[in-house]
Structure 1
Amino acid sequence: MIDTAQNNKQKGKGMWDAVIEAFGELTVATVIIFAVAAAALWRIYRKAKKYVIKQYKKKEERNKKIQECLDQIKLYPKWRQQSVAIQKEFTEAINGLKEVQEKNIERLEEIEAANRRRKRNELRERLLQSYHYYGSKDKNPMQAWSEMEADSFWKVFKDYEDLDGDGYAHSEIQPTMNNLEKIPMHETEKIRELMQSRR
């Protein structure tokens, strides 16, 4: 038993001797350098690991996007068909609206033309009334009119022309009215005489 203990002691001593022989020449500075190098290697390893993981995730994301694009491309023929169908519906709807719009425009043009004719007839009637009154030697013996009456008449005449009025208005009415004497409004005595002369 004592031999066994001594044997173990000598074996342990031999092991220490081997360690001392292997590392006996190491100094504290060498151990510190070794520890710092090991720590630096550990940090580099961790950074490299994070970088590799980050790159892997980026690649995974890119692959995912590429797959989504490929899936979308596969759906393109279906979308194209739907687009053509929708475009056809829109075209038909637009053509329908266009027809309705053209009919509405045609109807509005007819209404506008009728309104213009009606207005032109009303203005012609007013011009004729003025012509029969101011141009008559019985009703207007001085063959004159006030400046205000003349301005009013010629404005109506211009409106009549703007509505494409013609005919007797230019050949009969206009020359007669141009021959009437126009009395300025500030000549009050002459205006009074004019008004008293009329019937």
Structure 2
Amino acid sequence: MEPFLEAFGGLTLGTIAVLIAAIIFMWKIYKKVEEYFVKKYEAEAEKEKQMQDILQQVQQYPQWRQQSIERQKEFASEIDTLSNTQKEIIKELKDIEERRKKTKRNELRDRLLQSFRYYTSKDKNPLQAWSEMEADSFWRMFGDYEEADGDGHMHTTVQPQMRLLEEIPMNEEEKITELMQSRK
């Protein structure tokens, strides 16, 4: 114990208190520096992790680009298929419309011919006349026939002969009555 007393025997209580305060101060500074370096290390480690994630994503870019190109090709193919299907549907609709128009034109031609035969027949319509209402109905039907692209003998034969019929106004009741009684 003597070497201890020789080394530290001359110390006073004040010196020991200062020495203890210095050791505590040094300990606290050490802890602050340690905390600073630990936080800095953790921040650097986080940055390094983020950089590694970014590098992994950059390495995935060619694969993603290829997937994107493949998707674009798929979409382009599907769009082409839809476009072709749409063209087929439009063509079919046009064909259907043309058939409907042809059928309507044939029906109108048949009705016009029946009217023509009836009104121009001297046996069935001896006065060779028709009422204003009958004429209006016939000419409207004739207009529908023309809108359905009707042509031919209707314009060269039927139309001129129908224009020769006398048209009796609806307000001339006596003439209308006479006309109706003359028909068979």
Identify whether the pair has TM-score above 0.5, normalized to the shorter chain: yes
Match of 1:149 in 2: 134
Q: CA RMSD in A?
A: 4.3
Shift of the 117–25 alpha-carbon distance from structure 1 to 2, 3 Å rule, reads closer
Match of 2:106 in 1: 121
Match of 1:167 in 2: 152
> How far is the alpha carbon of 1:35 from its aligned partner?
4.8
1:139 counterpart SS class: coil
Aligned: 1:53 with 2:42: yes
Could you give the per-residue CA deviations for residues 16-57 of structure 1, whole angstroms, max 9, x where no partner exists? Answer: 3455499469499xx3x9856854662453244224313312
Kept after mapping to 1: 8 A contact 2:168/2:176:
no
Larger Rg: 1 or 2? 1
Percent identity (aligned): 35
Give the distance between the partners of 1:135 and 1:19, measured in 2 at CA: 151
Kept after mapping to 2: 8 A contact 1:147/1:183:
yes
Q: Where does the alignment leave 5 or more consecutive residues of structure 1 unmatched? A: 1-7
Partner of residue 177 from structure 1, selected from 158, 162, 166: 162
Aligned: 1:70 with 2:59: yes
Kept after mapping to 1: 8 A contact 2:118/2:125:
yes
Could you give the per-residue CA deviations for residues 145-195 of structure 1, whole angstroms, max 9, x where no partner exists? Answer: 3343233222321221122111221222223333431423x5555433322
Give the distance between the partners of 2:157 and 2:122, measured in 1 at CA: 16
Kept after mapping to 1: 8 A contact 2:168/2:175:
no
2:130 counterpart SS class: strand
Aligned: 1:135 with 2:120: yes
Kept after mapping to 2: 8 A contact 1:143/1:181:
no
User: How high is the TM-score relative to the length of structure 2?
Assistant: 0.65
Kept after mapping to 2: 8 A contact 1:135/1:176:
yes
Q: Where does the alignment leave 5 or more consecutive residues of structure 2 unmatched? A: none
Give the distance between the partners of 1:72 and 1:175, measured in 2 at CA: 80
Give the distance between the partners of 1:148 and 1:41, measured in 2 at CA: 116
Give the distance between the partners of 2:143 and 2:26, measured in 1 at CA: 107
> How far is the alpha carbon of 1:127 from its aligned partner?
0.8
User: How high is the TM-score relative to the length of structure 1?
Assistant: 0.61
Kept after mapping to 2: 8 A contact 1:142/1:197:
yes
1:52 counterpart SS class: helix
Match of 2:5 in 1: 13
1:149 counterpart SS class: helix
1:166 counterpart SS class: coil
